[in-house]
Structure 1
């Protein structure tokens, strides 16, 4: 009887260990896939919307689930409706855009486990960006955690006018509100750089003028 109990207990333990091992491998594989996609260099794929006189450039790192792409496309459509010619592409060392010729520049990245795209950071670090109107986007599930926006804003010179937003999905009404708020900031702070963190969930704003947020 004791041998049977011992044998049964051993089998249960082995089944538990096998299930645990499969779970660990599955989670590890998922994390590897997610983090790999976050920092993957994509082949450049330019998309152009609109024929307006104002010029906008959007550079973004796509997410695995298309959320970031959907957000960026919603932004592009809103800008197109406001008579912008919008160019969209992925961050890459192969890009040769002259950023000085754009009236507005936007950058976007997904957020996974508090991490943002190193590809996007690398692209921005290799550019000379001064005295520009800049929109920064992060997509993720935890909208209350906005440290990623502060990290992104810290990549830029203090002379830039920077409006930031973290979102969980593409929302036309929210995007329209964000652009309206950003335009008001551009007009109010014409002669000074600033950073504004827009809170999508509570419509609150934290403003820092003339200094990079730490």
Structure 2
């Protein structure tokens, strides 16, 4: 009987340790998604004489490069259509006056059904976006239409014509994002 109780105790302790480690893992993911990543800005210049400007703002993912890759592929598509594209992380350092941009893209990874609070706060702080084309994207492992809709609700002074979800590590993301950037850029 003592052996059975010891085995049961070890099983319970093992399950408890597993639960605690999962909770810690999810806490780290959420914390990372809701922490500013600093002032990182990349500019893709175009060779086009009559160039317009685009801004791609995304919160990088802790787990994969999916969000970063989608952001850069969208930027490459826009750049191929004659746009100077600025790629940046959201945060307090980033200007909230986006009037010089013709196209503005916002992207976030989804962790535990939530978009990045850093991106959400930045979107809320952005001034007038009535004249810009706006695209929202999220990366995640499931149908993320609910998260896209919650992102859209943050825009009180702009219409969101395009929202799209990308699955983590989907091999078609690169072409899908590039083609979408090209499509937006030619309008």
Shorter-chain TM band: 0.7 to 0.9
| Mapped contact 1:130–1:157 kept (Cα < 8 A) | no
| Mapped contact 1:48–1:86 kept (Cα < 8 A) | yes
State how far apart, in whole Å, the 2-side matches of 1:50 and 1:8 are. 70
| Mapped contact 2:33–2:116 kept (Cα < 8 A) | yes
- Over 3 Å counting, the alpha-carbon distance change for 1:14 and 1:166 in structure 2 is same
State how far apart, in whole Å, the 2-side matches of 1:159 and 1:88 are. 21
Match of 2:175 in 1: 173
Indicate yes or no: 2:67 matched with 1:55: no
| Mapped contact 1:163–1:182 kept (Cα < 8 A) | no
TM-score of the aligned structures, taking structure 1 as reference length: 0.77
State how far apart, in whole Å, the 2-side matches of 1:161 and 1:181 are. 16
Equivalent residues in 2 for 1:82-161, closer than 5 Å:
82-96=81-95, 98-131=97-130, 132-142=132-142, 144-157=143-156, 159-161=158-160
TM-score of the aligned structures, taking structure 2 as reference length: 0.87
Match of 1:164 in 2: 163
Shift of 1:173: 2.5
Segments of structure 2 that go 5 or more residues without pairing to the other structure are none
Could you say what the CA RMSD is over the residues aligned between the two structures, in angstroms?
Answer: 2.0
Shift of 1:181: 5.7
Segments of structure 1 that go 5 or more residues without pairing to the other structure are 1-5, 188-214
State how far apart, in whole Å, the 1-side matches of 2:148 and 2:96 are. 24
| Mapped contact 2:75–2:178 kept (Cα < 8 A) | no
How big is each residue's C-alpha offset from its partner over 1:111-143, in whole Å with a ceiling of 9 and x where there is no partner?
Answer: 11211111111111111133221010100011x
Greater relative CO (CA pairs within 8 A, separation 6+):
2
Match of 1:41 in 2: 36
Equivalent residues in 2 for 1:64-75, closer than 5 Å:
64=62, 65-75=64-74
